[in-house]
Amino acid sequence: MNALRSLHGRLLVALLLVLGTLWAAVFTQARHDAATSAAAEVDGRLRTSAVQLLQLVVLAERSPGDAPATTGADASSGPAAPGDRVVRDPATRPPSFEIVWEDGRSPVRSPDFPTNLGTTSSGFEERSVGGRTWRVLTVVDRGRRVTGRIALDDLARGALAGQRDREAIRPLLWILPLFAIAALASVWFGLAPLRRLERSIDAQEPHELASLGLDPRRLPRELGRLVAAIESLLARLRDIQHRQRAFAAMAGHELRTPLAGCSAQLQLARRTGDAAVHDRALGKAERSIETMARLVGQLLVLARVEARTGTMPRRRVDLAELVANVVARRRRNATEAGLELGLRRGSPEAFVHGNPTLLECMVDNLVDNAIKFSPRGTAIDLRVDVHDERVTLRVLDGGPGVPDDERDRVFDPFHRVAGIPRQGSGLGLPTVRAVVADHGGEVRLQARTGPGTEARVVLPAASTPVTRSRSTSQG
């Protein structure tokens, strides 16, 4: 039913069905009325003729010399010839009549009055004679002892009814196409705003999502709501597109700085004749390359988390064990930086539901961050606890801390805290936030007792269902 897949089609079909039914009802009613009125007219004619007939009889009896002829003309028409009856319009043919006296005089009949009618009682009756049906009106005048019968056959009646019928339905017939056209036109006109909206949306360029440019006040209410919803979606899409482009541009630029550092150190290495300077320069160049590799890796992680393609499998992961692995791997970095790295588990296991690679990346970023910002001689503590169906990971460092107003902004890509020289890719904390959000958790930086910062990650424990939290700012 292809018509029903189109709004225009649906409306048109509904409208035509309603109008059609209405029309059919009116049509039927009109025909019925026509038939009724035709029958009434027939009866009226019979009655009129009966009255006239009896009056004629009265008149004739008053003038006895003018005996009515047994054959001869009908009272209301000219001389009858055998062929005339057929030619004359049956609808307007006058009824046949018969007059019978009680005193035995010979009855008077019109030529076409049916014989063998049988006896009829006064009033209207239907009789079938010789294959035709007659409507007979019998009038008895007791005073003058005369019975008159007027009859009209079905041909005549039929012709009359047919005429009435045609008169009734003629207007109805050309109303039908008019209805159809009117229905079409009103559906078309009524849905015009919808078509305008469709054209507006069609005109959108996917790369440059502009506003639809429709004035909501000039739209029908229902479309107004639809347009508002679409505009809101477009605005969010624009925002996301914009942020993605800005992010990509920023990431590109951010890569240039470690590239520049690497390049400068390598040029230095070439220029110097001093072996110590040479080696130191190459070492720093390597550090730059590590930074770049980290940045690229984190960009890829972020891209995967953002894409949410679901290709990263999830299972029950023991976060405590994961953290222990990271600690073991990073112990050397920490020692080289003059830092102590320790892990304390509140419970032997801390199961969460998630992707082990992403989670490990998250922990690694937090530890890396702590190592970068902790001065020599301090300690980095990691604690994993399970409480109230939540798993909490805490990373405590003894570094310079983060000012209150920057605690949220440090999670923005490439953010630098004032006064601290840039180290690393600038994507460590944003990656942490993205992974945590993807796993339905929360991450926050807060002050701790004493100098330093506590990074606190809260994730739902494995038995609780996970819903991804909508991170409103990361986009």
Residues forming contacts to another protein in the complex (CB under 8 A) are: 253-254, 256-265, 267-268, 271-272, 277, 281, 284-285, 287-288, 291, 416-423
Residue with smaller CB distance to another protein, 191 or 264: 264
Q: Name, in order, each residue with C-beta under 8 angstroms of 355's C-beta and a sequence gap of 6 or more.
A: 312, 313, 314, 317, 439
The phi-psi region of residue 221 (left if phi > 0; otherwise alpha if psi is between -120 and 50; otherwise beta) is alpha
- Tell me how far, at minimum, the Cβ of 246 lies from another protein, in Å: 12
Residue with smaller CB distance to another protein, 197 or 427: 427
- Tell me how far, at minimum, the Cβ of 264 lies from another protein, in Å: 3
Residue with smaller CB distance to another protein, 377 or 419: 419
Strand ranges for 27-131 from DSSP E: 96-101, 108-109, 123-129
Q: Give me 45's structure tokens.
A: 């004619």
Can you name the residues that pair with 230 across neighbouring β-strands?
none
- Tell me how far, at minimum, the Cβ of 288 lies from another protein, in Å: 5
Residue with smaller CB distance to another protein, 385 or 406: 406
Can you name the residues that pair with 443 across neighbouring β-strands?
457
Asked whether 424 and 372 are in contact (CB, 8 A), the reply is yes
Please report, as a single letter, which amino acid is at residue 458.
V
Residue with smaller CB distance to another protein, 252 or 342: 252
- Tell me how far, at minimum, the Cβ of 254 lies from another protein, in Å: 7
Closest-CA residue to 382 (of 426, 434, 420, 330) = 330
Residue with smaller CB distance to another protein, 236 or 256: 256
- Tell me how far, at minimum, the Cβ of 360 lies from another protein, in Å: 27
What's the alpha-carbon Rg for the chain, to the nearest Å?
Answer: 52
Closest-CA residue to 61 (of 99, 98, 94) = 99
Residue with smaller CB distance to another protein, 80 or 266: 266
Residue with smaller CB distance to another protein, 86 or 418: 418
CA quadruple 344, 336, 370, 304: dihedral sign: negative
- Tell me how far, at minimum, the Cβ of 285 lies from another protein, in Å: 8
- Tell me how far, at minimum, the Cβ of 286 lies from another protein, in Å: 10
Residue with smaller CB distance to another protein, 306 or 412: 412
Residue with smaller CB distance to another protein, 245 or 256: 256
Asked whether 452 and 399 are in contact (CB, 8 A), the reply is yes
- Tell me how far, at minimum, the Cβ of 230 lies from another protein, in Å: 33
Please report, as a single letter, which amino acid is at residue 370.
A
Distance CA 392, CA 320 (A): 10
Name the one residue in this structure whose structure tokens are 């020289």.
Answer: 421
- Tell me how far, at minimum, the Cβ of 280 lies from another protein, in Å: 8
Distance CA 265, CA 26 (A): 97
Q: Name, in order, each residue with C-beta under 8 angstroms of 235's C-beta and a sequence gap of 6 or more.
A: 211
Distance CA 154, CA 151 (A): 10
- Tell me how far, at minimum, the Cβ of 291 lies from another protein, in Å: 8
Q: Is 404 exposed, middle or buried (0-12, 13-18, 19+ CB in 10 A)?
A: exposed
Name the one residue in this structure whose structure tokens are 């001389």.
Answer: 79
Between strands 390-397 and 442-447, the pairing is unpaired
- Tell me how far, at minimum, the Cβ of 375 lies from another protein, in Å: 15
Asked whether 361 and 435 are in contact (CB, 8 A), the reply is yes
Distance CA 314, CA 245 (A): 30
- Tell me how far, at minimum, the Cβ of 212 lies from another protein, in Å: 30
Residue with smaller CB distance to another protein, 258 or 399: 258
**DSSP per-residue letters across 293-328:** HHHHHHHHHHHHHHHT-S-S--EEEEHHHHHHHHHH
The phi-psi region of residue 177 (left if phi > 0; otherwise alpha if psi is between -120 and 50; otherwise beta) is alpha
Residue with smaller CB distance to another protein, 176 or 268: 268
